[in-house]
Structure 1
């Protein structure tokens, strides 16, 4: 008993011969055989002997950190898993480093993605060497987060990340700038056309394919820039990437709720962010009271499905407002009715928020003969000094929508700044041109900062 080493129910170990510096193991005396997570297992011949090549993701929930291993095949066995299923597995023999102790054990190779640990240490490996106290954990110590980053994550920083830009038009200024900014910072950038992506839904092997059958499962991060007409499919693809543990600069759920104008306004109000007085109704019979509700004419009528200034009508008189509202309602179109901020004089602000900071701001003004309708409609852009209150509103709005990147539109009124809209795929051309700031670079920095090393 005195010669045996006390260990807990979980321990960190290493496999020097396989090139694995650290992996967390579940200690299970109820299991006879030890098991190691392995994928892409292939047999090959070395000196007329069967060997195995296989890949290991040593950290749970991190498919990006991959170690390529080779080991001699010593056996194939039928193993009954904890779920009761029987599986034929390859068996290897290799050196295990556990604390200060090194000894050789046998391991079966299997895909443990659905399990809580990449490694399971069974009783055959423990006999004569180890004693387990199930109430304890990490009796032999554990690596620091800095050590883990040195082992695995820093290797990505040296090589750069593989980043996909999920969008529709590779010639768009914003998309070209993001690709350029990522490459300038040493990353491998790929433009992924939404229309060319398709996905395989599977509990054991989900995939995303690209035109021609190329599998897109090896990306580190994606930047979704989804045009409004592709919101449903684009968000479905983004969710699939997230299911594959790919970091999304803006999540599918955040994009989805930002595209729902009514819901997004309700979220903003619930977070104490003021907006122009807005009405929403289902029946044309309530048109008169709806107009009164927002302060009468002139007023703005917005289609809920409209975006980027489309589906926005300025009704300058009550009669015009009634006609527009009733026309939309006769088509069963969902609309918002919003007060018109006269004192804004056709101007609004666009504040660009990246990772919780306002990185740039501009003022937009409608072209002569046009109206702004409380939303950007074109015209000119110029640099502007925004107040601390306006910055706080923009940051709070992006946070309320769970967006790491957002274009936040604010209008200055006699009541103070009012929030108009939060855009999850804001354009870069106008604001980079007006401010001369590298906003695309800020987006790439946000990926570098937030790309998580899961342990």
Structure 2
């Protein structure tokens, strides 16, 4: 056993010479078994019949302009449970760590750590036999000054030369929103987060305007990405329409978002465009409950509140008596309800296909948690990578086109009758699907703007 162990604080700077990373700040965490490195645009490839992986990293926290392109030999793929409890499959590499003038090989998993405070996590396996940690101290080794960092990374700075893009949303800390902001910055665009609740508008035939907190006029935007929560659909779409009136390109239009949020109209629209759905009945406090149940093939069946979102107001009724009870309970609320056949053979699984600009860019299979019938990762379900069939891809693309959405999360269930469409989401989340597939979906959204944006006519 080494007697001259390196003593580190809870935060230190280190480097990875083989990856071309001259300095990166790490969280030193003996409670974590494996080390992890921030990585985006992760893509495996083959070199000399060996498995490799390439990825990009912004090595300096809160600096998205500095990008290092890395390559490393791939040694494993593992399912890792993050500190937030989310399980994801990660690529594992081995590379040399340089710290306090000493160099030794360590294993690291690659993952997007934008939501974390550090681009690097140094776990106990990498420290074993070499390092002691004093958790009360920080930066016991050299801490580089900002000017030194600029010098070290002088060749890795990307100058901005792109569009002025606004992200119209509610929570800047949400994973999806942070990734979109990051991807826009990385592609050289000027990104602005616009909080929906802090926007207000002036309706004027000749000079329509949107104002922001403090009276700032939101003009000179080239494009806007609406990410509107269901609870503020009305106001968010009103703002999106106002941007459209100001000749600003909106990635998803207000009309498309509005119709996607109307469950009944969206199902009718999909059927009109030849997209198959589970047999569905609709009623407003029905008098003939028995016939409504028969209409969809009898129990077991799903009862949904028309206004429900993210799985709320969705009930599985396994018997006729249970179905009557649920429907009558909703009837007493004078609520609009959808009654839908239950696809038992799906076994609690569905597919999420992410469509951007008429192309399926990523796909996952979601599996319900034990005791649940809905495949929802927010309710303890799991997500795994899956290759959809060509028919499933066609359905997803057709559904997004029918809803006139440039960006859509399309949910499909596999049945004995073939694939059936469950829902089309106009503001699909990125965390689960990017984590599972390691694909830069946020970057695909920015590319869609670049492709479709046309300069305003003067």
TM-score by length of 1: 0.64
Q: Paired residue for 1:367, among 354, 366, 369?
A: 369
The 1-side partners of 2:183 and 2:215 are apart by: 28
The 1-side partners of 2:201 and 2:220 are apart by: 14
The 2-side partners of 1:359 and 1:402 are apart by: 17
1:374, CA displacement in angstroms? 9.7
1:375, 1:420 within 8 Å by CA — same for their partners in 2?
Answer: no
Write the mapping of 1:175-186 to structure 2, written as runs, cut at 5 A: 175-186=177-188
Write the mapping of 1:433-444 to structure 2, written as runs, cut at 5 A: 433-444=435-446
Partner of 2:225: 223
The 1-side partners of 2:380 and 2:252 are apart by: 25
Q: Paired residue for 2:278, among 268, 276, 279?
A: 276
Q: Flag structure 2 segments of 5+ consecutive residues without an equivalent.
A: 1-158
Partner of 2:305: 303
The 1-side partners of 2:312 and 2:221 are apart by: 35
The 2-side partners of 1:343 and 1:376 are apart by: 22
The 1-side partners of 2:197 and 2:256 are apart by: 21
Q: Paired residue for 2:195, among 189, 193, 211?
A: 193
Partner of 2:418: 416
Q: Flag structure 1 segments of 5+ consecutive residues without an equivalent.
A: 1-156
Label 1:247 to 1:354 Cα distance change in 2 as closer, same or farther (>3 A): same
Label 1:180 to 1:158 Cα distance change in 2 as closer, same or farther (>3 A): closer
1:284, CA displacement in angstroms? 2.6
1:159, CA displacement in angstroms? 2.5
1:375, CA displacement in angstroms? 10
Partner of 1:36: none
| Structure 1 residues 101-137: Cα deviation after superposition (integer angstroms, max 9, x where no partner) | xxxxxxxxxxxxxxxxxxxxxxxxxxxxxxxxxxxxx
The 2-side partners of 1:289 and 1:375 are apart by: 34
Q: CA RMSD in A?
A: 1.6
The 1-side partners of 2:375 and 2:217 are apart by: 45
2:377, 2:432 within 8 Å by CA — same for their partners in 1?
Answer: no
Structure 1 ranges of 4+ moved more than 4 A = 373-378
Partner of 1:395: 397
1:453, CA displacement in angstroms? 3.2
| Structure 1 residues 391-413: Cα deviation after superposition (integer angstroms, max 9, x where no partner) | 00000000000000000000000
Label 1:415 to 1:376 Cα distance change in 2 as closer, same or farther (>3 A): farther
Bigger shift: 405-414 or 283-292? 283-292
* Residue 405 in structure 1 maps to residue 407 in structure 2: yes
The 2-side partners of 1:221 and 1:366 are apart by: 37
1:183, CA displacement in angstroms? 0.1
The 1-side partners of 2:323 and 2:388 are apart by: 33
Write the mapping of 1:324-403 to structure 2, written as runs, cut at 5 A: 324-372=326-374, 378-403=380-405
1:314, 1:373 within 8 Å by CA — same for their partners in 2?
Answer: no
Partner of 1:79: none
Partner of 1:233: 235
| Structure 1 residues 407-438: Cα deviation after superposition (integer angstroms, max 9, x where no partner) | 00000000000000000000000000110000
Matched length? 299
Partner of 1:211: 213
Q: Paired residue for 1:319, among 313, 318, 321?
A: 321
The 1-side partners of 2:190 and 2:375 are apart by: 41
